[in-house]
Structure 1
Amino acid sequence: MTTDATGSVTGGAAPLEGRTALVTGGGSGLGAAITRALLSDGARVVITGRNERALKETATRLGPDVTHRVCDVSDPSDVAALAESLADEEISILVNNAGIAGPVAPLTDISADDWDEVFGINVRGVFLMCRAFLPAMTARGAGDVINIASVSGKRPLLRRTPYCASKMAVIGLTATLAGEVGPLGVTVNSLSPGPVSGPRMERNFRLEAERTGSSYQEAEAAFVSRSALGRMVTEDEVGAAVTAMLRMPGLCGADIDLSAGMVAR
C-alpha cells in the first residue's frame, strides 16, 4: 500500500486490510451498513447485538469475514464474556453503534425505567465496551474508537429528552476519553448522524402524525424541511463516514456531523 502527500491510499492493499473491527448493534440498520463499509475497505468484522437471529442472518449475508457474538452492551457480565471470547482477536477498531430510540413523549410522561433503559444502552454500553477493549489497544499503542452519537445531542428534539440527553453524554464521554488515551496511541472520535432514513424514523413520523393529527407525509416533510439538503442521510452514508474517519490519522477527540445540514439550519 502506498499513500500520496495527503495520506490517501493510492494503491496496493485495502486501507483496513489486516485489521479487525468490533461493531455493536451490528445485526441490522446502521450497524449492518457500517459493517459493509468496513468490509469494503478490507477489515474483518465482529458484530454484536441482542438478537441472535438478526446477527446470524447479517453475518451469513455479508460473508466469511463477518462473525457474530450475542451481547447486551448494558450488562457488565455480557461485556466481560464478550471480551473473554475475543481474547485471541486483535480488535483494533471499536465502533460503539448500539443504541435505542426510547420513548417519544413529554418528559413528565416518561418513566424512570424508560429513562434508565435508554441510558443503559446508549451511554453505559459505550462505557462498558470501552472499558473492556481499550486496555489491549493502549498496550499495543494503537487503535481507533468511533462512538455513534447524534445531532440530537446538540439541538432540541421535543419529546425525546432521554435520547437527546444520552447522545450528548456520548459526545462528552468521547471528548474526555480522547484526552485520556490519545497520548497512548488510541484515537477516540464520535460521529453524529442526523435523521437516517429507515424504520426508526418511519416509527417517529407515525408517532408524530398521531400526536399532531397530521398525515405521515406531512410529519415527514416538516421534519426534513429543517435540513439544508432537504433530505435525510442514508445508512450507507453513515457507513462511508465511519471508514473515512478511520483514514484520518490526525482525527482525535472530534465530533463529526453527518446531517445533510440539519445542525447548520
Structure 2
Amino acid sequence: MESTSVLYEKEGHIATITLNRPEIRNAIDEEMAMAIEAAVDRAGGDDEVWVVVVKAVGKSFCAGVDLSYLVEHASGTGEGAVERGVNRNGHIGWSAYRLFSLEKPTIAAVRGHAFGGGLGIALACDIRIAADDAQLSAVFTKRGLAPDSGTSYFLVQSVGYAKACELAFTARTVDAAEAERLGLVNRVVPIEQVDAEAMRMAQEIVQQAPVALRMAKRALRRRMEDDVLSAFEYELYVNTICGHTQDLAEGGKAFLEKRPPRWLGR
C-alpha cells in the first residue's frame, strides 16, 4: 500500500517526491521517513529517471521531526524515540542520507519552514531553489537534540565552520535572502514560482546525457561520501546520548505546550 504522506510521480525523465502532511507542516514521523526512503529507492532503481525533484504540499517544506511522535515515543528520560534510531531504516535522519546517496541529480523546492530534519533533507539535495518566504533553521538544540539529518556536515560544507557553529548553537532562523547570501540555497524566487522553477531546472538538466550526469555527480562528491557517512553515524551517536536526557522530552513538550523549555542539564 502506497503512503499518503509521501507522493511519487514521474513525468518523462523527472521523478517528483512530494512531502504531503501539510496539516503539520510536513513534519516527519517514522512512517513518513520510511516512505521518503522508499520513494528515493524507487527513483534510484528506475533507469528512466534522470533527475529527482523534492517538493512539498502546503505552506512549509518540512518542519523536521513530528514532535508529537517524539514525545509519544520518548520515555521519562527521553530514551524511546532516539533509541529506535539504531535501526537506520526507521531513523528519521537517515532518510536525508538516502537522498544524498542517490546517484542522480536532486533539486529541492523549499517553501516556508525547512527546520531541523527538514533542513537536512533540503541540504541533502544537490540544488536548492527557495521561495521568498523560506525560513531555514538548525533547530535541534532548541529541542534537546544535537544536529541530525546530516546538518553537522552539510552546514559546515555550505557556510563554513564558524557560521555553522553560530547556526547550530543559536538555532536561529535564517530567511531566504540570508540563506542565498550564505550559500544554503542556490536562488530565491517568488513563492508562486518555486515549484515551477525547480521543474524548469530539472527540464534543463535532463537535456544532458544521463550517464554523464551520474558520473558528474559522482566526481563532484567523491571526496564527500566517506565524510558524510561518518557525520551521519556520529550524529546518531551524539543523539543517542541526548536521547538519555530528560531535556529531550522537555524540549518536545515545551514546543507542543507553546512555552519556553525548562532545561535540567541532564
Q: Whose radius of gyration is greater, 1 or 2?
A: 1
The higher-RCO structure (CA 8 Å, 6+ apart) is: 2
Asked if TM exceeds 0.5, the reply is: no
